[in-house]
Amino acid sequence: MSEKQNEENHEHSNQLAEKIKDSARQIWLAGLGAYTKAEEDAGKIFDKLVKEGEEIENKTRGAVGKRIRAVEDTVGEVKDKATGTWDKLEGLFDQRVSAALKRLGIPNHTEIEDLLQQIDDLKQRVNTLEKEKSDR
């Protein structure tokens, strides 16, 4: 090989090496740009997912709150009905017991109070009569 041909080969090798180096740098820069873009997009996507999650949480919380209030209302209604039914049963029981005691001839509370008052009145009259008798 001649020296001129040797120089041309060397020049050609240098040009090829430079092209490969430029190409490798462009690939590196493209990869770096893709990574940066992906990182930016990932941040935006993450923020968007967080926002959507918050919206779903708020909707769910509202729906759950409505359900809880509905259940509380239903429980309150059932409690009121049960209390009313219990009061009715208690009243019926009292009436039946009073009727049974009356049939047996056992006086009720009011009748006993009246009798006690009559006894007190009679005691006073007896005391008054005894005092009048002793004064004579």
How far is C-alpha 82 from the chain's CA centre?
24
Classify residue 105 by its DSSP letter: T
**Which positions ≥6 away from 1 have C-beta within 8 Å?**
9
Place of tokens 């708020």: 58
pLDDT in tens, the chain (136 residues): 577 677 777 777 778 778 888 888 888 888 888 878 877 877 788 888 889 888 888 888 888 788 888 888 888 888 888 787 888 888 888 888 888 888 888 888 898 999 999 999 999 999 999 998 888 7
98: number of Cβ within 10 Å: 13
